[in-house]
Structures are given as C-alpha cells and as structure tokens.
C-alpha cells in the first residue's frame, strides 16, 4: 500500500498542543469513519474501517504533498453505527445516540483550536444519515464548517456502481468493496467463501428500494444469512486499485475545495 500512504500524511496527533494552536485557520481536519461489522464470509469485519482510513490517509498525504491546502489527519473512528448488522458476532456497534454524542464531543473539542473545518471520510453507508445530522449540529452549535464524503463516488462523477450481476444491489460486501480489500489487504480476503446474495426480487419494486424514491428500514439479516448484499464473486485487486486510487484522488480534490469553501 506504499502508493497510498506516502510518509507525509500530516497527523494532528503528532503535534504538541501549542503546534495545534498555531495551525492555520483554513486547515481541514480529516476524520475517517469506519465500521467494525460483518462483511460476509469472505471479508474481514474491518472492511469499512480499512477502506476509510486507507483512503483518508492517502488523500491527506496527496494534499499535503501538493501543498494545495493545509490539512491534518485525525485518528479514525473504528466503532460506529452498524446497527443493521447487530445480529452478527464481530459487529461492534454504537447506538445512534452514542455515535452522535461522540461526534458532538469531537466537534466541541475541535472548536477550541484554530481548525474550523472538518471533513468526515466515511467508509460505512450506515453512518451516512447520522453523519448528515451531525454535520448540521456541529455547524450550528460550534460554528464549524463540516463536510461529509465517501470513498465511493456516484458513477457520473467517476464512481463505480458495481457489476451487472449485482442488479444494482452492490451494497455490502459486493463487487466494489471486495475489490478494494483485495487491493489493500489481499491477505484478509477469502475469495473461496465469496458468494452472491442479491435480492433480485426487489428490483421489481418501482418506488421502494436502494436508490429509489422511497427508502426503507432494513437490517442485513433480512437478505439472508450470508451477510452480503451484492455479488463479490468477480471482484479483483485490479478493479480495487482503480477504485481506491480514484477515491483518493477525488477525496484529495474535495479536501482542497473544502479548505476555501464558502456557503452562500
């Protein structure tokens, strides 16, 4: 992973408190949000944490190397809101209330530094909604500029939506995620245990579903015992490399944009 983690990702926590106090006011602090949760029979429970921290660290290093913005990396959160995988041993999840209060406490602390901009780079879809709530709360209460990004971007912005065999359901442990872990930590992937689990019948619904106008509440055991929603069987490290490098590039650009972003 040397190409992802150049040694120069500047770390917030390597600083003394007086060095923190001297950071420029347009500094962007980047905080990866992972998850420790079941990812099917073939992927480690660290999957989301691994992707989020790898991409965030590399993106911060890229920005720092380019000198395009003042940026620091914060330690990521490994344990987040994985309540949809609560049933599976190995999922370690915070309640919505605990995670929200954690993010508020971090924001309150950051507001006591010159750093007034924070970007979450979130590897776990189950955090996205609460993350939006937190971004507003930190902005309103502490005056922070808050940003919420994902390693995976929409297709029309350079992202990859998965393969045809996923029928649009590559949500968890599927083609993209498996490919990224194959690239980042191939030793942790058990492709021999990878199996397709796709709710094909749900494609028939017109209004309700992933990416459809009406969302629905689900836990991952609704889709079967395997823990996967998608088709990991065709995943490769090469695809993962493309996905990860694209994510790093776009996150780095987003960090740079965030350093001078103004509302209104």
Among 66, 190, 203, 238, binds a copy of itself (CB under 8 A): 190
Enter the DSSP assignment of 61: H
Asked whether position 191 contacts a copy of itself by CB under 8 A, the answer is no
Q: What count of other Cβ atoms lies within 10 Å of the Cβ of residue 209?
A: 17
- Shortest spacing between CB 3 and a copy of itself, in angstroms: 21
Nearest Cα to Cα of residue 42 among 150, 241, 188: 188
Among 9, 12, 160, 243, binds a copy of itself (CB under 8 A): 12
**Between residue 198 and residue 227, which ones bind a copy of itself under the rule CB under 8 A?**
199, 201-202, 205-208, 212-219, 222-224, 227
Which residues are CB-neighbours of 259 under 8 A, at least 6 positions away?
A: 26, 27, 28, 68, 69, 70, 71, 117
Which residues are CB-neighbours of 192 under 8 A, at least 6 positions away?
A: 42
Q: Are 4 and 236 in contact (CB under 8 A)?
A: no
Asked whether position 14 contacts a copy of itself by CB under 8 A, the answer is yes
192 DSSP β-pair partners: none
Asked whether position 2 contacts a copy of itself by CB under 8 A, the answer is no
The region of 58-66, 104-112, 160-168, 232-240 touching a copy of itself under the rule CB under 8 A is 104-112
Among 9, 55, 73, 138, binds a copy of itself (CB under 8 A): 138
Asked whether position 45 contacts a copy of itself by CB under 8 A, the answer is yes
- Token couple for 260: 């001078």
Enter the DSSP assignment of 256: H
Among 6, 116, 137, 236, binds a copy of itself (CB under 8 A): 137
Residue 9 three-state SS: coil
Asked whether position 13 contacts a copy of itself by CB under 8 A, the answer is yes
Spatial distance between the Cα atoms of 49 and 93, rounded to a whole number of angstroms: 13
Asked whether position 42 contacts a copy of itself by CB under 8 A, the answer is yes
The region of 61-69, 139-147, 160-168, 238-246 touching a copy of itself under the rule CB under 8 A is 139-147
Asked whether position 172 contacts a copy of itself by CB under 8 A, the answer is no
Among 58, 71, 73, 94, binds a copy of itself (CB under 8 A): 94
Asked whether position 15 contacts a copy of itself by CB under 8 A, the answer is yes
- Shortest spacing between CB 38 and a copy of itself, in angstroms: 4
Q: Are 102 and 94 in contact (CB under 8 A)?
A: yes
Among 3, 24, 66, 75, binds a copy of itself (CB under 8 A): 75
- Shortest spacing between CB 182 and a copy of itself, in angstroms: 14
Asked whether position 25 contacts a copy of itself by CB under 8 A, the answer is no
Helix residue ranges per DSSP H, 31-95: 47-66
Spatial distance between the Cα atoms of 4 and 1, rounded to a whole number of angstroms: 5
For residue 39, what are the CA distances in angstroms to 45, 46, 87, 183? 6, 8, 12, 16
Judged by beta carbon, residue 11 or residue 65, the one nearer a copy of itself is 11
């Amino acid at each position: 992973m040397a190409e992802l983690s150049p040694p120069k990702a500047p770390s917030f926590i390597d600083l003394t408190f007086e060095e923190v106090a001297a950071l420029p006011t347009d500094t962007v602090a980047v905080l990866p949000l992972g998850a420790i949760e079941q990812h099917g029979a073939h992927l480690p429970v660290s999957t989301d944490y691994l992707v989020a921290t790898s991409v965030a660290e590399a993106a911060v290093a890229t920005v720092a190397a380019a000198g395009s913005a003042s940026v620091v990396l914060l330690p990521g959160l490994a344990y987040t809101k994985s309540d949809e995988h609560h049933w599976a041993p190995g999922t370690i999840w915070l309640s919505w209330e605990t995670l929200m209060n954690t993010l508020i406490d971090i924001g309150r602390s950051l507001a006591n530094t010159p750093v007034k901009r924070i970007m979450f780079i979130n590897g776990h879809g189950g955090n996205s909604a609460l993350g939006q709530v937190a971004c507003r709360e930190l902005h309103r209460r502490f005056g922070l500029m808050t940003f919420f990004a994902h390693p995976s971007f929409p297709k029309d912005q350079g992202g990859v939506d998965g393969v045809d065999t996923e029928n649009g359901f590559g949500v968890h442990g599927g083609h993209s995620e498996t490919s990224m872990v194959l690239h980042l930590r191939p030793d942790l992937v058990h492709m021999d245990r990878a199996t397709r689990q796709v709710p094909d019948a749900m494609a028939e619904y017109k209004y309700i579903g992933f990416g459809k106008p009406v969302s629905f509440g689900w836990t991952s055991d609704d889709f079967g015992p395997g823990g996967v929603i998608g088709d990991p069987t065709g995943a490769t490290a090469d695809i993962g490399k493309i996905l990860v490098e694209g994510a790093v590039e776009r996150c780095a650009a987003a960090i740079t944009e965030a350093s001078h972003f103004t509302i209104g």
